Amino acid sequence: MAAEQDMDRVTISPILDTIDIINNTLSSNLTNGSNATKETPFVARTDGMLLSYSFLLLSALLCVYVGSYRSIIRKNNQEKSGEKPDVLTAKDAAMFPFIASGFLFGIYVVILMVSKEYITFVLNIYFFLIGVVALYRALQPVLKSKTLFNFHFLNQIKKRQFHVTLFENTQQQTEEKEKHQTPPTKGNKLIESTTATVLSSTIHDKMHLDLDFDLVDVGIFFVCALVGVWYLLKRHWIANNIFGIAFSINAIEILHFNKVLNGCVLLSGLFVYDIFWVFGTNVMITVAKSFDAPIKLIFPQDLIENGLFSANKFAMLGLGDIVVPGAFIALLLRYDMTRRTKNGSALYFNVSFVAYIIALVVTVLILQIFKHGQPALLYIVPLCLIFPLFTALVKNDLKPMFAYEDHPTTDEKNSALQPTTTTTAAGVSDPKRKNE
């Protein structure tokens, strides 16, 4: 949702923020021998406005594109490892707008009861921690890629491998360890270490931490921590954007709707949610005025005039308007991967990606024409749903699209493997596979 705000105003919603212009500034004038404060609207230069909106749109498209293709890698890894994925069911999708509404109103109540300073302190620590982890998770596969960074010195550094294990012994394991440690073995560190290793592999323990890493991982984490400290101390818009892009890529990669129907339900629900909380109440505005966080991408429109560190008139794009449609577009890309054996094209991903670009451009144009805040999902949801669904209707692919599942349920997997029995004229049962 896009909204015009004062300099002290931050993004409208912690979940669904949109492109926003801060276009008011205060100037002091002396009138008739007395001090008077006059509010002068900030008018962005054309070049500054184009620069800021271009950055926001390109950043959003980068997050959607990278996150979508990384979701395919994650899905394939889960299938190979047998990991049970966390997917969004139709019930979850239907309940999400109500849960988000309750969460938003809960924050509103807390703001009314708790001092703003305490809220800001807690949020700063929280986003520092998850920001460092999200940034590390976004950078680590790229910087350790042998295709992009196949350098000799990096390969040498990667050879320094480390393994850290932290677990809590059970009572049975402690007793067994004491039983196996006879007096001659006690004090012998080598024997004690070997005994502990054998016992930990044969007796169930409560595993808490098991990490394998090398020096490259350490270097990446150190850089991410430096960015986190920079954001925590300065709250600079570049650090904000670094964390925001990392959050978006990770969220699109991880959030799996599983079915196209689930995505349609969630997008439709958040479409109503966004409009209601923007125009129906003042809850979002109150929440927005109370704290700031890297839940939006921002870019100064006065960068050319005031420079990198003094610019403060920002255009904004909320992460909700990147992650939610981005996860749906990623689902369509994964569906396209199942069709590539037939035609080798990513048709629905391309169509929905173009629809998302058009929706963002329309949002900016409406904002500039009416000079009033607009919920971006008002344009993103219809276009991102209509374009791919209409294409599937024309291609006679609507039924297979809605039948597709990222991760089939256990019951469906079992039923697919159960044989069916047919009886011949001689009365002999003939088991056949259901898929034959």
The per-residue pLDDT for range 191-218, each reduced to its tens digit, is 455 444 444 444 445 556 777 777 888 8
Q: Are 345 and 332 in contact (CB under 8 A)?
A: no
- Which residues, other chains included, contact 119 with Cβ-Cβ below 8 Å and sequence gap of 6+? 110, 111, 290, 291
Percent residues over pLDDT 90 in the chain = 36
What Rg, from alpha-carbon coordinates, does the chain have? 27
Q: What is the pLDDT of residue 175?
A: 57
Q: What mean pLDDT comes out for the span 368-393?
A: 87
What pLDDT, in 10s, does the model give residues 41-71?
A: 677 788 888 999 999 999 999 999 999 999 9
Mind listing the pLDDT tens digit for each residue in 283-294? 876 776 667 788
The enclosing H or E element of 144 equals none
The answer to whether residue 133 scores a pLDDT higher than 60 is yes
pLDDT of 373 strictly over 70 = no
- Check pLDDT > 70 for residue 357: yes
What's the pLDDT band for 309 if we cut at 50, 70, 90?
A: confident
Reply yes or no on whether the pLDDT at 138 is more than 80. yes
Q: How far apart are CA 336 and CA 349, in angstroms?
A: 7
Active site (annotated) includes residue 17: no
Question: Domains of the chain: which residue ranges?
Answer: 4-25+40-133+247-413
Would you say 244 and 297 are in contact if contact means Cβ atoms under 8 Å apart?
yes
Q: How is residue 297 written in tokens?
A: 């991408």
Query: Catalytic: which of 20, 321, 336, 406?
Result: 321
Residue 314, pLDDT above cutoff 90:
no
Catalytic residue among 20, 217, 274, 406: 274
In the chain, % helix, strand, coil (3-state, to 5) comes to 60, 15, 25
**Average pLDDT of the chain, as a whole number:** 77
Greater pLDDT, 419 or 290? 290
pLDDT of 414 above 50:
no
Pairing of strands 24-31, 161-168: unpaired
pLDDT the model gives residue 90: 87
Residue 427 confidence (pLDDT) above 80: no
CA gap 231, 312 in Å, rounded: 16
Chain CA centroid to CA 332, Å: 17
- Has residue 410 got a pLDDT over 70? no
Known active-site residue 210: no
Task: Give the residue-averaged pLDDT of 93-116.
Answer: 88
- Most confident listed range (14-23, 208-217, 327-336, 401-410): 327-336
